Chains A and B, each alone.
Chain A
Amino acid sequence: MKCRVCRAPAVVEVRRHNAGFCRDCFLGHCRSQVERAVKEHRMMGPDDRVLVAVSGGKDSLALWDILVELGYRADGLYIGLGIDGYSGPSGEQARAFARARGLELLEVDLPADYGYDVRSGAAADRRVPCSACGLSKRHIFDRVAVQGGYDVVATGHNLDDEAAVLLGNVLRWDLAYLARQRPVLPGGEGFPRKVKPLVKLGEREMAAYCVLKGIDYQVEECPMAAGNRHLGYKEALNVIEERSPGAKASFYNGFLERGSELGAGTAAAEREGLHPCPSCGAPTTSAVCAFCKLVEKAGGDPRRRLPVSAR
C-alpha cells in the first residue's frame, strides 16, 4: 500500500477515506483534521488560552501535542482519580509528556485534595463508577478553567466516542443529551466554552498518531470500563464499520448536519434556572450542585482551592 499523498510506502491505512499514509503525511492529515474541525465549528482563536483535559491516554496526549504544534497556548489538567493500578501509571505518562515538551500540567488529586476516590464517591452517591468519575471530572475542569482564566476547555473525545454516545442517546431518544452533544458548547456565567477538536479523527487514528510520534501513553484500560454500555456501543459500531467503512463518520456527521434541531428547546430550558451553588459557586439548577452532594456524601470537602496556572 502506498501513501495517498506522496506515494511512499504507507504505514497506516484509514479505511473510511480509502487511503494509506506514510508517517509524515499521516501526522499532517491528523493536524489538518483538527484545524478543519476548529475552523468549521469555530472552536477557538489563536489568542485563546486553552486548558486540555489530560488523562494520560492516547486521545488527550495526541490532542495536546497537535494543539501545541498548531500554535495554541495550551496547558494541561490531569485529575488523579484514585483508581488502583490505573491512576498511578496514567499520571506518570501525563507528567512525562509535559516534562519532555516543557508544557505546563496542572494537577488535582481526588483522594489528596477532596478526600474521596471514584470508587468511594460512586458507592456513597449510589452511582456507577463512570458516572461519579464523569461528574467529578466535568466539575473540576470547569472550576479550574474559570478560576484560571482559561477561555476554553478542550477534551479528547474522538469520532468513535461521539458516534458511540450518539448511538446511546438515539437508542433512548434522550433529547436533552442529544441537544448537549455538540462539538462546541458555548461558555456562560460560571462555565467555560468546551470543545472537542478530535471529532473528525477516529480512535484508531489517535493511537496511530501516538505510536508514530513516539508518545508513550496509557495503553491498559481503566479497570472500571470493562463491560460498560459505552464499550458495547463501540463494539457494535466497529462491526458495522468493518463491513461499511465510513458508517461511523456518516452516522455522526449526519447528526451534526441534519439533527442539530433535536432537543434544542430542552437545552435552552436547562440553562434558564441556573444559579451559583452556595457551596462551590458552580452553576446549578438544584439547591446544592451534584458535585458538592457527592463529595459530602463521600465524607470529603468540596471547597478546595484549585490549582491556577502560573502564566
Chain B
Amino acid sequence: MGAVKVLLRNPRREVEVPGPVGAVALLRQLGYVREAVLVIVDGALVTGDATIPDGAQVEIRPVVSGGAR
C-alpha cells in the first residue's frame, strides 16, 4: 500500500508512516507541537482535523525561527 511520505526540515529528511492518518495524530506520532509547525499535504495547507490519505506527500514545516534579532 502507498504509505504517507513525510518531508521534515532542519535538517531536511524524509520518513514514511502508514496512512490514512489524521494531521494531529501524525504530529503527535512524530513528536511535534502543533503550534510549532504547518502541515502541507500535496502542496496545500491543511487544518488539524484533516485526514491524510495513503500515498499523500506531506511536508511538516517548522515555523519557529531563532536568533536574538
Contacts and interface: CB of A to CB of B under 8 A. Distances in A.
Given A11-B44, A15-B35, A204-B35, A155 B68 contact: no
Contacts of B34: 15, 242
A287 to B, nearest CB: 26
B52 interface: no
Interface residues of A, number: 45
Q: Chain A contact residues: over half helix, strand or loop, or mixed?
A: helix
Given A221-B10, A241-B35, A242-B34, A231 B66 contact: yes
Contact of B38 (A133, A165, A208): A208
Nearest to B11: A220
Interface in A114-142: 130-131, 133-134, 137
Contacts of B49: 1
A75 interface: no
Grouping DSSP codes into helix (H, G, I), strand (E, B) and loop, the B interface class, with mixed when no group exceeds half, is loop
B66 A226 contact: yes
Given A155-B69, A161-B69, A228-B68, A58 B63 contact: yes
B59 to A, nearest CB: 9
A65 interface: no
Given A137-B69, A206-B63, 11 more contacts: A1-B47, A12-B45, A20-B47, A208-B63, A219-B61, A228-B66, A234-B66, A235-B36, A238-B33, A238-B35, A242-B35
Closest 7 CB pairs of A and B: A225-B66, A207-B63, A231-B66, A238-B35, A1-B47, A130-B68, A13-B47
21 contacts: A1-B47, A11-B45, A130-B68, A133-B67, A134-B68, A165-B68, A203-B64, A204-B35, A204-B38, A207-B38, A207-B63, A208-B63, A211-B45, A219-B61, A220-B12, A225-B66, A225-B67, A228-B68, A230-B67, A235-B36, A238-B35
Interface of A: 1, 10-13, 15, 20, 57-59, 130-131, 133-134, 137, 155, 157, 160-161, 165, 202-204, 206-208, 211-212, 219-222, 224-226, 228-231, 234-235, 238-239, 241-242
